[in-house]
Amino acid sequence: MDKREPLKIPLHVGLIMDGNGRWAKKRHMPRSFGHNAGMNAMIKLAEHASGLGIKYLTVYTLSTENLQRPEEELEGLFGLFRNYFTTNVKKLYKKNSAVKVIGDLSVLPQDVQKLLRDGEDNSPSGAEFTLVFAINYGARNEILHAVNSAVENGLKLDRDGFENLLYTRGMPYPDLIIRTGGEKRLSNFLAYQAAYAELYFTEVLFPDFSPKEFDKAIKDFSGRDRRYGKIKKEDN
Ligand code: IPE
Ligand code: IPE
Ligand code: MG
């Protein structure tokens, strides 16, 4: 990236990692091959994002809808989580980075649930960077879950109160949402939190989404004028 131009670096980036299946199909390989390659791409991006000064990278790893995929594909994905949370995660800790998991984990295999929870518990406190895994995550379920817990406790909520009941409690809103793989939709990702996010869509299939491609998204974001409904000072 051009160091002479100071870029606006987002605090929180959401990443919809789409296109693993098509990437594998193009190579006449099973979908699991694409998911493996996608995991490797994600690991590189997390390191790159923390180097840029991004504080939170939320990766959409498995949606609530994805649970309808064939058992074999899901088992492959669970295997990738097992690997990541037993080995790779340690490298992250060494760089004073943390992991966090958002989503309904209760339907995942018991050992995977434990690994994910341990991954969070063993994270350094006061981490400079957090890699957030959205696993069996769906924005609609997250919102319903928050509403129901408010109702059960007889609470009438303000915005802070509501946000404290979301999985993303304590995290800033995503400034930028990137989706790879060509589709232009959120597919149930962070719908509430992304209400004012900048959106970036690319045709690049996720396993090919390199740090260089990520930089393009940051550069694009950096040039956006975020007005939040107001008018520019000079137009006043
Ligand atoms: C995204 O890639 C990863 C997951 C949903 C787990 P896909 O598996 O959706 O890849 P395509 O969209 O079929 O290419
Ligand atoms: C979104 O991709 C979910 C993840 C990347 C984890 P999908 O491939 O599941 O989304 P749709 O089916 O195109 O909406
Ligand atoms: Mg897809």
**How does DSSP classify residue 175?**
S
pTM for the complete prediction? 0.96
Q: Using one digit for the tens of pLDDT, what is the confidence trace for 20-69?
A: 999 999 999 999 999 999 999 999 999 999 999 999 999 999 999 999 99
Residue 233 — pLDDT band, cuts 50, 70, 90? confident
What is the DSSP pairing of strand 198-201 with strand 12-16? unpaired
DSSP-derived 3-state class of residue 85: helix
Q: How far apart are CA 114 and CA 99, in angstroms?
A: 14
Structure tokens at 223: 């040039």
Residue 190 has pLDDT above 80, yes or no: yes
Residues in Cβ contact with 82 at an 8 Å cutoff, skipping those fewer than 6 apart = 111, 112, 115
Instruction: Give the distance, in angstroms, between the CA of residue 172 and the centroid of all CA atoms in the same chain.
Output: 13
Nearest ligand 1 atom, CA 62 = 6
Residue 18 designated active-site: yes
Among 2, 20, 36, 66, the active-site one is 66
What does the pLDDT read at residue 2? Answer: 55
Pocket test for ligand 2, best of 15, 17, 18 (most atoms within 8 A of CB): 18
Structure tokens at 137: 């995550």
Verify whether ligand 1 is closer than 6 Å to residue 18 (CB atom). yes
Verify whether ligand 2 is closer than 6 Å to residue 61 (CB atom). yes
The ligand that comes nearest to the alpha carbon of residue 204 is 1
